[in-house]
A and B are shown apart, each in its own frame.
Chain A
Amino acid sequence: MSTNVKFRLASDRVNTQILTGDRIPRLYTPGEVVTAQQSFMRGHGTYVEDDDIKASVAGVMEQVNKLISIKPLKSRYVGEIGDVVVARITEVQQKRWKVDTNSRLDSVLLLSSVNLPGGELRRRSAEDEQMMRKYLQEGDLISAEVQNIYDDGSLSLYTRSLKYGKLSQGILVKVFPSLIKRRKTHFHNLPCGVSIILGNNGFIWISPTSTSESENDGGFTQNLSEVIPRADREVIARLRNCILALAQCKMMLYDTSILYAFEESIKYEVHELLNQEAIFDVAFLTQHRLRLQEI
């Protein structure tokens, strides 16, 4: 088998920065004095020293009445109640699973916040505790929602809805959490026959749209025997490359932008989308279409 590998000099690199040159808000950098007035309260990303409120991260100021906070443009995932996340099980413990959500501390999924097979109202017995690894084991991927945030900042998740649960066949794409646009819905069935879950934590799940609706099994079944046709897999691979192209150009990811990128990428072969030129072209055209829509 011959492979086509491209090496290029640093000077030949494609500059993927999409210059827009529109208005830039006031930027703050660590140690900079935000305000010297004492009538304000300090929020996240700030600290008080010598009666001044100073920024501790590089980003943009956000003011709610008297509360001043600085939001960094990029950081680890900071959870909010109601966020949709895609996460990976890292540990099975007593009555709970430890889950990696790309946040500062590991999150937990309590046994009491999952739907067990056999109906909603079921007591959780000692057998269920022993069966935990049957339902979810280390390395499994799940989709879930943030139920609660503990005092130390760690998240508690739940999957007590049919749309959440274990993920079976598909691709996981990791991007920076700040690139995911917050929307009403993060589950999308794209017209190209692919479902996509945009986790607020920067994990994106791409899978073929399932035809058969799952029964009352609590979402713990994985249909690994079903063969996905080649055409579908190519579409999934194309979508993955499109998402990575947008992410590399630091563009926001949501249903419209991903769909536009997909449509603009049709002229390329799937593997060509790994080239710098193609990445930039797709991102640029997508940006252009999004701009046209705004006006």
Chain B
Amino acid sequence: MANQDLLSDQGLRLDGRRAHELRRIRCKLGVFSQPDGSAYLEQGNTKVLAAVYGPHQAPGKKSNHSEVIVNCQYSMAVFSTGERKNRPRGDRKSQEMTIHLQQTLRAAIKTELYPRSQIDVFIEVLQADGGNYCASVNAATLALIDAGICLKEYVCACTASLANGNVPLMDVSHLEEVSGGATLSVASLPSSNKIAFMEMSQRFHLDHLPKVLDHALQGCQQIMSILDKAVREHLALVGSASDWGNIAK
């Protein structure tokens, strides 16, 4: 297996990172004017757009009197992967991803605050380079914050994997995903240290789980501080442009 090459003797990965380093994250809030909230997020070469509509009135049949309905739609652009491929929205992979996202976001949203309502979250992957689920979750969090929806806290996701049989890797790229061992995707609520979602692409030995999981959770922590910084910068810009508007100083 090519597993040996993932980490060089100098401890560098294929893209020049060290084992415990994230890819560069760049993000932007409020990229659209039509949805209630939107965000764009780049994690290395993985690029994701998220748009949030709502909370708005849920249609009669689906309406739930105790909590909000979270409706997600995950889709990948035709040009997002190496080979061009038309993916109809209903394909199995996206459907699965949609369900996973829904589960993750429900853990963060204070669902009991919005009875009889619905929140729509649309995710579009523009470029897929590994960790699509993680980038989607992180972008969705930003979009939800931009929409002013009540969250318990940030929900962040990160992947981790094993190289050379025993060294954990943080935030794996596509190349490492396909040539390396099992990938663990974790979505967590970092400040309360809760895990909202966890998935493994294949099996690995139980002994490795604690350290791989630990790496993924550390990644979530780091992602949260990056997102938090971006949110604060965005708030400061928007707030000062409107002179802090209707909000008391």
- Seen from chain A, the residues whose Cβ lies within 8 Å of a Cβ on chain B are 17-22, 24-25, 27, 29-31, 45, 47, 49, 54, 56-60, 62, 71-76, 104-106, 152, 175-176, 178-179, 181-182, 247-252
Contact = CB atoms under 8 A, between A and B. Distances in A.
A54 B244 CA distance: 22
B241 A73 contact: no
A105 B241 CA distance: 29
A62 B248 CA distance: 7
A31 B154 contact: yes
Contacts of B242: 73, 178-179, 250-252
A27 B236 contact: yes
A77 B63 CA distance: 20
Contacts of A60: 239, 244, 247-248
A72 B148 contact: yes
Interface stretch (B54-62, B130-138, B214-222): B54-62
A176 B240 CA distance: 16
Contact of A75 (B56, B115, B148, B237): B148
Given A104-B114, A105-B117, A181-B246, A27 B145 contact: no
Interface of B: 30, 33, 36-37, 54-57, 110, 114-117, 145-154, 189, 191-192, 228, 231-232, 235-249
Given A57-B150, A152-B116, A249-B241, 20 more contacts: A20-B243, A29-B154, A31-B152, A31-B189, A31-B191, A45-B150, A56-B151, A57-B151, A59-B148, A72-B148, A73-B148, A74-B36, A75-B147, A76-B56, A76-B147, A104-B55, A152-B115, A178-B242, A181-B246, A251-B241
B145 A47 contact: no
Nearest to B108: A30
A250 B241 contact: yes
B130 to A, nearest CB: 23
A252 B153 contact: no
B31 to A, nearest CB: 11
B115 A24 contact: no
23 contacts: A18-B241, A19-B237, A21-B240, A24-B236, A25-B239, A25-B244, A25-B249, A27-B232, A29-B145, A29-B154, A30-B154, A54-B153, A56-B152, A58-B231, A60-B247, A62-B247, A62-B248, A74-B30, A76-B55, A76-B147, A104-B54, A178-B242, A179-B245
